[in-house]
Amino acid sequence: MRTTFKLWLRRVTAGLLMILPLATHAQEEEKPKVGFIRLVNAVAPGTGNAHLEIDGEDQFPKGYKLGQRTGGIGLKAGSKKIKVTREGVIEGTTTITLGVGETMNLVSFAEKMPAEGDKPERWEMRILKLKQRDVESGFRLTVLSVCKEPEILFSTMHEGETKKVPHSAKRLMTTSIDLGATPRDLYVYARDNDVPLAVFRPETKGNYVVVVYDDPDGTVKAVSFYDPKFVIAG
């Protein structure tokens, strides 16, 4: 009887050992392959709020005010059609390929186009993609300008310092600054302005991003966010 029971137990155990890898594999396959999109709204011209559509679906019917940004919008990885609209501005569209675990940062802004042919002077939407990369580590500051000027001047200063460090950022390009191994509170200023555009208290390694734009009056403003990875304009 004992021999029969032992044989039965061995067969049951062997069957479970065969099923477990299959169950684990099935669970892995069921995990959603998701990426994320973040929109920064820097569209100054026009009226009303800006709207983000992904594959034809409005992500937030109330829309986004100038200087607002979304959190990470989780989406199934793959090709996505992006459209940003605001009344009084010709809509902007682009197509992206969203990778698994990737966060694609998108910055919407507008450019004034001169009259040509039968087209009058107009504002057209642009969507700039900020791509992530893993080649760096530590604490960094990235500044992107979508201001009308070809280059903007800004400065940074750490908590406890009395002298600002000058920097510059070319339009539609990212400027990256190493913040050191253990950075203190960081203030980012428009040049010759004592009111900071952004204030960071870096506690986690990654990228501290400032997007600089013009408001309707031409005043330089900024929207900021943290990204665990590093971004470049692309």
How far apart (Å, rounded) are the C-alpha atoms in residues 188 and 178? 14
pLDDT tier at 12, thresholds 50, 70, 90: very low
The radius of gyration of the chain's CA atoms, rounded to the nearest angstrom, is 25
Q: Structurally, how many domains does the chain consist of?
A: 2
Q: Does 54 reside within a domain?
A: yes
Q: Residue 231 has what pLDDT?
A: 63
The reported pLDDT for the residue numbered 233 is 58
**Which CATH number belongs to the domain containing residue 193 in this structure?**
2.60.40
Report yes or no on 154 lying in a domain. yes
Asked if 219 and 167 sit in the same domain, the reply is: yes
Does any domain span residue 3? no
Does 108 lie in the same domain as 80?
yes
Residue 9 forms part of a structural domain: no
Residues 109, 143, single domain; the answer is no
Specify whether 151 is located in the same domain as 179: yes
Judge if 148 and 89 occupy the same domain.
no
Residues 123 and 143 in one domain: no
* Confidence category of residue 9, pLDDT binned at 50, 70, 90: very low
Which stretch of DSSP H or E encloses residue 36? strand 34-41
d(CA 217, CA 234): 28
In the beta sheet, which residues pair with residue 54? Answer: 57, 82
Give domain status of residue 24, yes or no: no
The DSSP element (H or E) to which 7 belongs, if any, is helix 2-30
Hey, what's the torsion of the CAs at 172, 140, 210, 93, to 10 degrees? Answer: 50
Distances (CA, A) of 1 to 149, 168, 221: 90, 85, 84
Domain with 110 in it: 32-133
The pLDDT of residue 13 is above 60: no
pLDDT in tens, 66-82: 999 998 999 999 999 99
Residue 21 lies in a domain: no
Q: What single string gives the DSSP state of each residue in 191-232?
A: TT-SSEEEEE---SSEEEEEEEEE-TTS-EEEEEEEESSEEE
Is residue 111 domain-shared with residue 85, that is, in the same domain? Answer: yes
Model pLDDT for residues 86-135, shown as the tens digit of each residue: 999 999 999 999 999 888 999 999 999 999 988 899 999 999 998 776 65
Entry pTM: 0.82
Name 124's Cβ contacts closer than 8 Å, sequence gap at least 6: 89, 90, 92, 110, 111, 113
